């Protein structure tokens, strides 16, 4: 499903990928790429960590993802899909590579057992982490309100009491934040037409 | 926005009520309208999907890759940028537009570099924004929760708490602070990457969550891993915010109010 243009405009960070693409065209791609890394590496790493169950392997996959992204940077077209969507496509591939290596080596990873072992299972992980990543960026009090509403399933009345905030404030934050989470999820879920390596 | 939204001849459902309905609350939503309006139904369905996704499992941690990951990537990126930029035929640029080849993109600007990079966090004179920022950091890391760094191993000294240091707007620095316990006392090791070069220095502080009190731990330099002793007996559950400030050699021992990175200590 496509994110509506007016919704995309609500997110004026590196999500659009246009900043990165224009920096590449201007020869400032390396500087812009660091910004891309800073903004999106926690999401990439967290997905890999859930998929592989091991922090060290997730570090390794994160490195491979961003090196893949850098090497195929000139094939990235912001008109064809969002930057994080593109990065998530690469992340899925590098995780699949790692799974294949494990299957070949029959290696048993140290650490926690991975949460998922298939591409289909990975989709759910990506979805939840994309939203968690955006939740962590909401600021306060909206972030806390949304965590109470989504994860602890408190009603807006209960949240208002717990945080000692006016009901109207809580309702307004819930509306805005839930719309923002939706926009982020749709922007990333919008499967890119780009074909990274 | 508490009134219903009007588009053309239709009075659509109140967006706040739609959001509450998506969360499964009982609301005063206009069910008669909802039953006949494709727009409101689609709106509700897409919000419900977000709620369903978040409630389909636990609250997942967002955590950070180890510092070496960027170092390795940056080596590749810098090499490419150095070798490709001058003859890159796909993106011709004039000499004037061409930026100097950056050996280290993170050291291009100091804390007082370009106009939009200075983050001034008022400390004592105007405490409200500072409080809000400190509270935001606290709850942000509350959300992330748990131990966010994974680089530890059994061979290191006992790490009793750590904080993932997040850049504040306008600064590229991030890192980790680890509180270590040894026989001879406690210390905090601060590992920061991306600190801009400075003519002054950077200082490490521990703050209370409401920034009502702060303790200076000492100075750190760009690109260094520094281990600083902790005052014996300091209550880390109270002084739980690790803050890195950009300081000048001005003889003023108080916080400059310019913070470049900050994080919340987690046991």
Contact yes or no for A171 and B16 at CB 8 A: yes
Enter the tokens of residue B234.
Answer: 């300091």
User: Based on the domain organization, do B187 and B232 belong to the same domain?
Assistant: yes
In 3D, which of B84, B72, B111, B90 has the Cα closest to residue B195? B111
Asked whether residue B196 is assigned to any structural domain, the reply reads yes
Asked whether residue A101 is assigned to any structural domain, the reply reads yes
Asked whether residue B201 is assigned to any structural domain, the reply reads yes
Number of structural domains chain B divides into:
3
Q: What share of chain B is helix, strand, coil (3-state, %, to 5)?
A: 25, 25, 50
Domain that holds residue B101: 72-107
What's the mean per-residue pLDDT of chain B? 70
User: Based on the domain organization, do B83 and B134 belong to the same domain?
Assistant: no
Give B96 to chain A, closest Cα distance, Å.
11
Instruction: Please tell me the distance from the alpha carbon of residue B202 to that of residue B220, in angstroms, as a whole number.
Output: 5
Asked whether residue B216 is assigned to any structural domain, the reply reads yes
**pLDDT tens by residue, A71-113:** 988 888 888 888 888 999 999 999 999 988 888 876 555 555 5
Contact yes or no for B56 and A128 at CB 8 A: yes
Interstrand relation of B158-167 and B259-264 (parallel, antiparallel or unpaired): antiparallel
Decide if B24 contacts B51 (C-beta within 8 A): yes
Instruction: Please tell me the distance from the alpha carbon of residue B56 to that of residue B120, in angstroms, as a whole number.
Output: 40
Name which of A27, A62, A155 is nearest B25 (Cβ-Cβ). A155
User: Based on the domain organization, do B148 and B20 belong to the same domain?
Assistant: no
Instruction: Please tell me the distance from the alpha carbon of residue B191 to that of residue B197, in angstroms, as a whole number.
Output: 15
Number of structural domains chain A divides into:
1
Give A194 to chain B, closest Cα distance, Å.
18
What's the whole-number mean pLDDT along residues B179-195? 81
Enter the tokens of residue A88.
Answer: 């998530």
Beta-carbon neighbour count of residue B212 at 10 Å? 11
Contact yes or no for A136 and B62 at CB 8 A: yes
Asked whether residue A38 is assigned to any structural domain, the reply reads yes
Using 50, 70 and 90 to split pLDDT, how confident is the model at B81?
A: low
Chain B residue with the nearest C-alpha to that of A140 = B136
More confident residue, B105 or A107: A107
The pLDDT value given to residue A145 = 94
Name which of B16, B81, B136 is nearest A175 (Cβ-Cβ). B16
In 3D, which of B153, B164, B174, B133 has the Cα closest to residue B62? B164
Asked whether residue A196 is assigned to any structural domain, the reply reads no
Alpha helices in B197-261 (DSSP H): none
User: Based on the domain organization, do B259 and B136 belong to the same domain?
Assistant: yes
Asked whether residue A140 is assigned to any structural domain, the reply reads yes
Enter the tokens of residue A166.
Answer: 């006016």
Enter the tokens of residue B149.
Answer: 């760094």
Instruction: Please tell me the distance from the alpha carbon of residue A147 to that of residue A95, in angstroms, as a whole number.
Output: 29
Q: DSSP string spanning A1-43?
A: -PPPHHHHTT--SGGGSHHHHHHHHTT-HHHHHHHHHHHHHHH
Q: CA A150, A156, A161, A163: dihedral to nearest 10 degrees?
A: 50
User: Based on the domain organization, do B21 and B132 belong to the same domain?
Assistant: no
Contact yes or no for A27 and B99 at CB 8 A: yes
Chain A residue with the nearest C-alpha to that of B175 = A38
Give the CA radius of gyration of chain A: 18
In 3D, which of B262, B204, B212 has the Cα closest to residue B238? B212
**pTM of the predicted model, to two decimals?**
0.57
- Please indicate if any CB of chain A lies within 8 Å of the CB of B69: yes
The pLDDT value given to residue B53 = 92
Asked whether residue B242 is assigned to any structural domain, the reply reads yes
- Please indicate if any CB of chain A lies within 8 Å of the CB of B66: yes
**pLDDT tens by residue, A19-41:** 787 777 777 788 888 888 988 99
Enter the tokens of residue B203.
Answer: 């200082």
Listed by number, the residues of chain B in 139-158 with a beta carbon closer than 8 Å to a beta carbon of chain A are: 139-140, 142-144, 150-151
Most confident of A153-157, B165-169, B201-205: A153-157
**pLDDT reading at B147 higher than 80:** no
In 3D, which of A6, A1, A48 has the Cα closest to residue B49? A1
CATH number, domain with residue A68: 1.10.10.10
> How far is Cα of residue B86 from the mean position of the Cα atoms in its chain?
35
In 3D, which of A74, A69, A79, A81 has the Cα closest to residue A192? A81
Decide if A83 contacts A36 (C-beta within 8 A): yes
The number of C-beta contacts closer than 8 angstroms across A and B is 185
Contact yes or no for B167 and A131 at CB 8 A: no
Domain that holds residue A151: 5-189
User: Based on the domain organization, do B257 and B141 belong to the same domain?
Assistant: yes
**pLDDT tens by residue, A142-168:** 989 999 999 999 999 999 999 999 999
Asked whether residue A195 is assigned to any structural domain, the reply reads no
Asked whether residue B198 is assigned to any structural domain, the reply reads yes
Instruction: Tell which of B19, B39, B146, B172 to mutate to test the A interface (max A CBs under 10 Å).
Output: B19
Asked whether residue B43 is assigned to any structural domain, the reply reads yes
DSSP secondary structure letter of residue B182: E
Asked whether residue A83 is assigned to any structural domain, the reply reads yes
Asked whether residue B19 is assigned to any structural domain, the reply reads yes
Q: Please, which residues bridge with residue B179 across strands?
A: B161, B188
Contact yes or no for B63 and A153 at CB 8 A: no
Residue A100: partners with Cβ closer than 8 Å, 6 or more residues away: none
Interface predicted TM-score (ipTM) of this complex, two decimals:
0.83
Contact yes or no for B62 and A133 at CB 8 A: yes
């Amino acid at each position: 499903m496509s994110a509506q243009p007016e919704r995309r405009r609500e997110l004026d960070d590196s999500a659009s990928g246009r900043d990165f693409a224009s920096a590449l065209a201007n020869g400032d791609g390396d500087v812009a790429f660091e910004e891309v890394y800073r903004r999106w590496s926690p999401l990439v790493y967290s997905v890999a960590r859930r998929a592989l169950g091991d922090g060290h392997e997730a570090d390794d996959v994160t490195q491979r993802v961003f090196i893949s992204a850098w090497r195929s940077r000139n094939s990235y077209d912001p008109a064809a899909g969002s930057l994080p969507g593109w990065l998530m496509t690469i992340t899925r591939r590098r995780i699949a590579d790692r799974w294949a290596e494990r299957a070949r080596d029959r290696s048993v990873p140290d650490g926690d057992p991975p949460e998922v072992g298939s591409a289909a299972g990975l989709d759910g992980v990506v979805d939840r982490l994309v939203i968690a990543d955006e939740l962590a960026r909401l600021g306060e009090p909206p972030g806390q309100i949304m965590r109470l509403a989504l994860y602890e399933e408190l009603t807006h009345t209960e949240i208002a009491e717990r945080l000692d905030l006016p009901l109207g404030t809580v309702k307004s934050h819930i509306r805005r934040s839930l719309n923002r989470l939706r926009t982020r999820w749709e922007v990333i879920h919008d499967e890119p037409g780009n074909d990274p390596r | 926005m508490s009134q219903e939204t009007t588009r053309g001849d239709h009075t659509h459902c109140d967006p706040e009520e739609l959001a509450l309905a998506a969360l499964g609350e009982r609301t005063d939503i206009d069910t008669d309208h909802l039953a006949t309006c494709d727009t409101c139904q689609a709106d509700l369905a897409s919000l419900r999907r977000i709620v369903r996704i978040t409630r389909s499992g636990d609250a997942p941690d967002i955590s950070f890759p180890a510092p070496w990951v960027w170092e390795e990537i940056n080596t590749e990126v810098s090499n490419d940028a150095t070798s490709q930029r001058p003859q890159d035929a796909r993106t011709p640029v004039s000499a004037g537009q061409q930026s100097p080849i950056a050996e280290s993109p993170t050291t291009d600007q100091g804390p007082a570099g370009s106009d939009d990079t200075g983050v001034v966090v008022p400390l004592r004179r105007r405490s409200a924004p500072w409080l809000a920022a400190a509270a935001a950091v606290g709850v942000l890391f509350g959300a992330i929760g748990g131990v966010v760094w994974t680089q530890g191993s059994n061979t290191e000294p006992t790490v009793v708490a750590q904080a993932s240091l997040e850049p504040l707007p306008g600064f590229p620095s991030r890192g980790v602070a680890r509180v270590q316990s040894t026989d001879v006392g406690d210390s905090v090791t601060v590992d920061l990457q991306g600190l801009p070069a400075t003519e002054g220095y950077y200082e490490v502080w521990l703050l209370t969550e409401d920034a009502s009190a702060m303790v200076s731990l000492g100075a750190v330099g760009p690109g260094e891993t520094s281990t600083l002793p902790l005052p014996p007996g300091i209550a880390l559950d109270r002084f739980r915010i690790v803050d890195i400030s950009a300081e000048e050699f001005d003889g003023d021992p108080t916080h400059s109010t310019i913070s470049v990175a900050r994080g919340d200590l987690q046991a």
